[in-house]
Amino acid sequence: MQKAKLTLKVDPSHQSVVRISDTVTVGGQDLWIVGGPCAVEGRDQMEAVAQRLAIAPIQSIRGGVYKPRTSPYDFQGMGLDGLKILADVRDRYGLPVVTEVMAISQIEAIAAHADVLQVGSRNMQNFDLLKALGQTHKPILLKRGLAATLEEFVMAAEYIMAHGNPNVILCERGIRSFDSYTRNVLDLGAVVALKQITHLPVIVDPSHAAGKRELVPNLARAAVAAGADGLIVECHPQPEQSVSDARQALSLDDMAALAQSLKAIATAVNRSIPAGVAPAPRLSLV
């Protein structure tokens, strides 16, 4: 780790707080809870998610519009039409949105419609993409590679920061191992270590780690207890109907119940969960 400079914690009290919007931050006292489907599938779906979860309370919505699918024949995402849906829902509910960027050519459009740009596991070491994201000032949610060491993970963050963007959030999402019972193995040890080694916010994705919805709430609670600065959790109005990652999607009611259950754990580790807001939705013009 000797070569990393910008990511490293220089003194134990050094902790970066990344601003997501005027009212939402990650890395400070408040936890940052992100919920939403794997993929944006349509306006009604995202409307239902925002309507139910704004009061849950969660602080941001997720939904992929450019999807890195294992098979080229699977749904690849709604693209620009999906971005417009995300931006519209964001504006009407006051919930910042997180979505994945897969290519340099997508950065401009995504930056114009979303608040946080996610780099997926499969792109953690796409160095040209990381360098290009270094030239934006948008918060970047950097997911750990499928089999990345902590040094490789931290160095990927270093790429973004060394190219000018200090707004990096790390995300542990499970790593490959020998046991196929869970989709991946959630590495909570990495969360504790990254919080000690770096000053960056560290969040946890229990959905892609577990791959099974019944495992997600307890892993999410364990992550907060272990010191994570937030969570990104997949949920869907009709989980079984999800076009991608259906098996790990929570129902919206289960997502809301999870958010509620985190309050006591947050308090125990001296964190808080910002209160939800239920703004009156304005008419959609898109």
Contact footprint for Mn ion (CB under 5 A)? 38, 245
Tell the smallest beta-carbon distance from residue 64 to ligand PEP (Å): 5
Tell the smallest beta-carbon distance from residue 120 to ligand PEP (Å): 3
CA pair distance 121, 102, nearest whole angstrom: 10
Q: Which C-beta is closer to Mn ion: that of 62 or that of 113? A: 62
Return residues touching ligand PEP (CB under 6 A): 38, 64, 68, 120-122, 143, 173, 205, 208
Q: What is the DSSP letter of 64?
A: B
Question: Which helix (H) or strand (E) is 162 found in, with range?
Answer: helix 150-162
* DSSP helix/strand/coil, 100: strand
Q: Which C-beta is closer to Mn ion: that of 38 or that of 58? A: 38
Strands 18-19 and 25-26: antiparallel
CA pair distance 170, 153, nearest whole angstrom: 8
Tell the smallest beta-carbon distance from residue 75 to ligand PEP (Å): 12
Start-to-end Cα distance in the chain: 48
Q: Which C-beta is closer to ligand PEP: that of 39 or that of 132? A: 39
Tell the smallest beta-carbon distance from residue 234 to Mn ion (Å): 6
Query: What are 168's strand-pairing partners?
Result: 140
Q: Which C-beta is closer to Mn ion: that of 169 or that of 233? A: 233
State the binding partner of 68 from Mn ion, ligand PEP, none, CB within 5 to 8 A by kind.
Answer: ligand PEP
The CA R_g of the chain, rounded to the nearest whole Å, is 17
Structure tokens at 207: 């959905």
Q: Which C-beta is closer to ligand PEP: that of 17 or that of 243? A: 243
Tell the smallest beta-carbon distance from residue 102 to ligand PEP (Å): 10
State the binding partner of 143 from ligand PEP, Mn ion, none, CB within 5 to 8 A by kind.
Answer: ligand PEP
Which residues of the chain form beta strands (DSSP E)? 18-19, 25-26, 32-36, 60-62, 97-100, 116-119, 140-143, 168-172, 202-204, 230-236, 250-251
Q: Which C-beta is closer to ligand PEP: that of 64 or that of 139? A: 64
Tell the smallest beta-carbon distance from residue 208 to ligand PEP (Å): 4
Residues in CB range of 279: below 8 A, 6 or more apart: 54, 92, 93, 94
Tell the smallest beta-carbon distance from residue 205 to ligand PEP (Å): 6
* DSSP helix/strand/coil, 242: coil
Alpha helices in 26-134 (DSSP H): 43-53, 80-93, 107-113, 127-134
